[in-house]
Structure 1
Amino acid sequence: MSLFSTFFLAFSMSSDAFVASLSKGAALPARPSLRQALRTGLVFGIIETLTPLLGWTLGLSMAQYVTAWDHWIAFGLLSLLGAHMIHEGLQNKEADVGSQRSAPSFIRLVMTALATSIDALVIGITLAFMDANILWTSLAIGTATLLMTTLGVMLGRVINTMIGKRAEILGGLALCGIGTSILIDHLGLLA
């Protein structure tokens, strides 16, 4: 696989993590520090580095099972997380924006990162059939995700300032949208 293809693949794999991190940044009660943004970026980046490696190790024997269900798993996880965020965003509408929001828990952060990295797992399976350096490709995907997620968290707070209490609702809708997009793409409904 060429350097250009690896670069394109890495940033393509990080796009859904970027959108998810925008909603994470918007849900923070205060302007995120670079440290908070990097923490989120590291969680997403590490998971996004490991999932192609895991997919690659699954190889030929598991490919038919993973690819048959990956879109349903991503859709389910992202929709559940999105619905939870929408529910939280609708609670106590009269309350001050900052008083009802808290930093996302580590478990919720990991669940979101896992949900957005299922496509990277499938990419790893695909790379097992190609002439690609899996270590280099996985590191490129993880690094792109680290950068895009960190940027997403920082930009998310700017979006929150502009749209206020609706940020968490919109973030939840975005997660549901990502899940639906993955499902539609894999089922070929718009083809």
Structure 2
Amino acid sequence: MLSVAYIGEFITLSLMAIALGMDAFSVGLGMGMIPLRLRRIFSIGVVVGLFHVIMPFAGIILGHFLSSHLGSIATYAGGILLLILGVQMFLSSFKDDAGPMIKPIGMGLIVFALSVSLDSFSVGLSLGMSNVRTALTLILFGAFSTILTWGGLLLGKKVRGVLGKYSEMLGGSILCSFGLQLILN
């Protein structure tokens, strides 16, 4: 039987995964404006999902190392880091972008996946400081970012970028709330 603590952690990590995937969703909305075949959309989502597993895993490993050496200060540092990331993500939603400048093929796909998963490294760093379940975190981050990327790309074919700013605002707000939760608990 699942414990209440596990269910709570699952819900928290799912919300964080959604918040981190909002970047991929919003950029996918813009990228979905260019003509892409379904096979290309599938591969873009998979690559973005892989980067949302690799980057937080590296952050979690570094976070475990730092927390073992810094103790409770690391938890506050992780909360502050999440708060800063959330504010940055929220504020970046007000910038006027013309959409993605790279094509999602070859090195352009790698650059795209890296750019939308950089914040997951920092979140992984702060999560590593709080001894989170690594496998659960990586599965949720990878799955949600893949699904949100696909959704953004497919919806981008239908919608002309209206949701992009609002999805980044929502994602930033969620990261801020979890940063505050780490700091205040």
Q: Normalization by structure 1: what TM-score?
A: 0.61
2:178 is equivalent to residue 151 of structure 1: no
Instruction: Work out the number of aligned pairs and report it.
Output: 164
For residues 11 and 69 of structure 1, what CA distance do their matches in structure 2 show?
A: 19
Alignment of 1:120-159 (within 5 A): 120-127=124-131, 132=133, 134=134, 136-158=135-157
Quick one: percent identity of the two aligned structures?
A: 12
Question: Residues 24 and 171 of structure 1 are in contact (CA less than 8 Å); yes or no, is this contact kept in structure 2?
Answer: yes
Write out per-residue CA displacement over residues 31-86 of structure 1, whole angstroms, 9 at most, x where no aligned residue: 43332443244234323343145224423224432322321134214533x334x3
Q: Normalization by structure 2: what TM-score?
A: 0.62
User: Which position in structure 1 is the counterpart of 2:53?
Assistant: 48
For residues 177 and 50 of structure 1, what CA distance do their matches in structure 2 show?
A: 22
Instruction: Give unpaired runs (5+ residues) of structure 2.
Output: none
2:165 is equivalent to residue 172 of structure 1: yes
Alignment of 1:96-111 (within 5 A): 103=103, 107=111, 109-111=113-115
Alignment of 1:180-191 (within 5 A): 180-187=173-180
User: Which position in structure 1 is the counterpart of 2:36?
Assistant: 32
User: Which position in structure 2 is the counterpart of 1:15?
Assistant: 18
Give the residue type in structure 2 aligned to 1:42. Answer: V
Which runs of structure 1 show a deviation greater than 6 angstroms over 4 or more consecutive aligned residues?
A: none
For residues 145 and 14 of structure 2, what CA distance do their matches in structure 1 show?
A: 10
For residues 36 and 10 of structure 2, what CA distance do their matches in structure 1 show?
A: 28
Instruction: Give unpaired runs (5+ residues) of structure 1.
Output: 90-99
